Structure 1
Amino acid sequence: MAEAVGVAERVARVLLLGQIVSLLLAATSFSSSQIARRGVDAPLTQSFFTYFSLALVYGGVSLFRRRKLLAPWHWYLALAIVDVQGNYLVVKAYQYTSITSATLLDCWTIPWVIVLTWLVLGTRYSIPQFMGAATCVAGLGLVLLSDAWDSTGGGKRPLLGDALVIAGTLFYALSNVGEEFFVKKKDRVELLAMLGFFGMIVSAAEISVFERKELQAIQWSATTIWLFVGYAFSTALFYAVVPFVLKFSGATLFNLSLLTSDMWAIIIRVFYYHQKVDWLYYLAFGVEAAGLVIYSFNDKSSIEAEPEYEPLTDDVASHLAA
């Protein structure tokens, strides 16, 4: 009886954390769509303030702890590079496609994560888990089909926006798997501090090359500033909660849990933007929700006791790099 209660508590914890990050993802999507509707095209600048927030908070904690890095700095630099590119592509997509399409297509991260965790982390999946993930991905075809003929609120170039999101999810998958690896080596604070520090540097470097004209063209107002603040705040919280989900369940279930943000995106589009949502979106969401249920009921990592991991050492990192 006590064991069953413990299992239920662990599953409930994973589901609760998953829904918190799902709500935060919906908030970031709303902020990005609002910024894009005001004619602001500065995805790298949006991300810069997120990384600055992480570096400020977790970097300060790291300095206070005065601990030696548990992983070589260049691993964190590589992680920051792929994370920045993922954020850039997905935020850029809001210039061309709708909030509903962007959030629904985020689930393309799932097959990337499955392949990468299989190859890099040695994770093994059961046939029911593959069926659940495949069911989630099946919703992608419905979104693309809807965007192909949607002329009411789907964005000025929806298929281009969809392609940018799908490309961005590959970088997100690389970032998620890297974060899962570091988190399960027990250095969550170090991960967020270094991701924020190097993410800020990479973003600033790319802004100086690719986004100077866009920054000069921005008509700053109180609303625009608050939207940037809202985006930075929600994404910083998102990054802060994500490591807990990755530690308790892994990158695959984490990304499957984010699918419920689609529901919030549909609500925003209908009630805030007063736009019609094609019936295929609802069908796509239902298909994805079914896939999430199938996968989560067959995911042992979310119901078993938490494993213990050794801290990441230079020897381990050198072995992985070999």
Structure 2
Amino acid sequence: MGEPGIKTTAIGRVAPIGDDAEGSPLSSSSPVHAAPEVVGTTTADEIEESKTGMFAYMKTRNFYIVLLLGQVLSLCVTGTNTFSGLLSAIPFSIPAFQTLWNYILLNIVYTSFTLYKYGWKKYIHVITHDGWKYIILAFLDVEGNYFVVLAYRYTTILSAQLINFWAIVIVVTISFLILRVRYHPTQILGIIICIGGVGILIGSDHITQGSSFSGVTGSNQLKGDLFALLGATFYGLSNVAEEFLVSKKPLYEVVGQLGFWGMFISGAMTGIFDRPQYASSIWNDGKVGGYLTGYTLLLFIFYSGAPILFRLSSAAFFNLSLLTGNFWGTAIGVKVFHLKIHWMYPIAFVAIVVGHVIYYLGKSILGEARKPWLGRNQERGVSGVGTARRRVERGSELAV
């Protein structure tokens, strides 16, 4: 039933609306609470046709929320990379162990909330029916984190640039082939401009002979870059998988399951692959605990905000947003690691920001929140924070 003063939508005519703020009646794990009510006529098409033009999406508040949230996440990644560099300098580099605590924290917070919302019976149903999907997601994510932390053992700036660049290639390709996402010409242009900005960063890094947090060059730098490419491949695959899942399931279920299975996978990896690093790492340095805590908290914020950005925009724009992390990382590196900023860095930063804006030229007022795999009125998706379905149901600009 529609709320007072708010138009009930087309979705309300074809599907029962539950009382769970993050539950979809068409989700396999969501119960039905009420019968459908046949009132209202608003559809996703009508919303998109209400405001047209080249700058339609850029005139909405959601556009600025997407830009801001993207940069918050970019700063989180920059912070985690900084802590990884500081830990490596101690030296303390145990890749799977380092990220294990993030999965434990995600599991404690989000699985507890999922149990509160679902109860044990429904939670067991999620594990038995959808657990395999979350195991795949967690595996991809854990491997991405593992190889990226390995890359930062060799701490090349080029590694960070390769991670973001290659992840974009993977995300765009998989989204196009599997999720049937079709990119607007301005989106392709925006991606090209952003990648051009990355090219400028790579060129400046080459000019400065591969500056790095610890001065590592040569074969070790190549090894770090190869680890970065492998980690970026896993990241790209996990980003697409997470965008798909959070568009169909409640956020707390997806993130909770990611933390639950990631905890076991990461724990197994640290027991199998990290054993040599336990002996060679320094444990009695008081800074280790502080750096690990900072790293874990920033990752927790990142994992909490990323699903919302996946809903409001896409895995492609998510990775474009992270490209600015190279600039933020260098800015931090000047203070922390005494790096020198090359004059080409500000040019690259401006190019990436311009690419972000051009990316959304020509998009409708729903932007990328309207997912092609969820149906014309997003009826196969969840009604939750950042989704186009909630926008259709409530008729308000902010899908929250």
Please report the TM-score for the alignment, with normalisation by the length of structure 1. Answer: 0.87
Residue 104 (structure 1) shift: 3.0
Distance in structure 2 (CA, Å) of the matches to 1:150 and 1:5 = 40
SS at match of 2:277: helix
1:49 aligns with one of 101, 111, 114: 101
Pair 298,47 (structure 1): closer, same or farther in 2 beyond 3 Å:
farther
Distance in structure 2 (CA, Å) of the matches to 1:184 and 1:113 = 16
Greater shift, 112-121 or 163-172, is seen at 163-172
Q: CA RMSD in A?
A: 2.5
Task: Please give the per-residue CA displacement for 1:58-104, whole angstroms capped at 9, x wherever unaligned.
Answer: 11111222234185211111111111111111111111133x43433
* C-alpha contact 2:313 2:368 (8 A) present in aligned 1: no
Q: What letter corresponds to residue 28 of structure 1 in structure 2? A: T
Greater shift, 195-204 or 159-168, is seen at 159-168
Greater shift, 57-66 or 243-252, is seen at 57-66
Residue number in structure 1 paired with 2:112: 60
1:18 aligns with 2:70: yes
Distance in structure 1 (CA, Å) of the matches to 2:369 and 2:347 = 35
Residue number in structure 1 paired with 2:91: 39
SS at match of 1:184: helix
SS at match of 1:72: helix
* C-alpha contact 1:8 1:303 (8 A) present in aligned 2: no
Task: Please give the per-residue CA displacement for 1:6-35, whole angstroms capped at 9, x wherever unaligned.
Answer: 952111221222122122112111111111
Task: Please give the per-residue CA displacement for 1:141-196, whole angstroms capped at 9, x wherever unaligned.
Answer: 44444444544742413333223222211111111100000111032111111111
2:380 aligns with one of 299, 310, 313: 310
Residue number in structure 2 paired with 1:186: 249
* C-alpha contact 2:74 2:321 (8 A) present in aligned 1: yes
Distance in structure 2 (CA, Å) of the matches to 1:286 and 1:6 = 18
Greater shift, 158-167 or 41-50, is seen at 158-167
Distance in structure 1 (CA, Å) of the matches to 2:87 and 2:274 = 15
Please report the TM-score for the alignment, with normalisation by the length of structure 2. Answer: 0.71
Residue number in structure 2 paired with 1:165: 228
1:284 aligns with 2:345: no
Distance in structure 2 (CA, Å) of the matches to 1:255 and 1:132 = 12
Distance in structure 2 (CA, Å) of the matches to 1:233 and 1:305 = 28
Greater shift, 268-277 or 80-89, is seen at 268-277
SS at match of 1:24: helix
* C-alpha contact 1:107 1:137 (8 A) present in aligned 2: no
Equivalences, count: 310
2:182 aligns with one of 100, 105, 124: 124
Residue number in structure 2 paired with 1:251: 315
Task: Please give the per-residue CA displacement for 1:257-284, whole angstroms capped at 9, x wherever unaligned.
Answer: 2222222111111122222233444443
Residue number in structure 2 paired with 1:72: 130
Pair 10,142 (structure 1): closer, same or farther in 2 beyond 3 Å:
closer
More helix by share: 1
Q: What letter corresponds to residue 189 of structure 2 in structure 1? A: M
* C-alpha contact 2:158 2:210 (8 A) present in aligned 1: no
Structure 2 portions without partners, runs of 5+: 1-49, 371-376, 383-400
Task: Please give the per-residue CA displacement for 1:204-250, whole angstroms capped at 9, x wherever unaligned.
Answer: 11111110121233222221111111111110110011010000111
Q: What letter corresponds to residue 331 of structure 2 in structure 1? A: I
Pair 45,188 (structure 1): closer, same or farther in 2 beyond 3 Å:
same
1:107 aligns with 2:164: yes
Pair 11,140 (structure 1): closer, same or farther in 2 beyond 3 Å:
closer
* 1:73-92 equivalences in 2 (<5 Å): 73-92=131-150
Greater Rg over alpha carbons, structure: 2
2:238 aligns with one of 141, 164, 175: 175
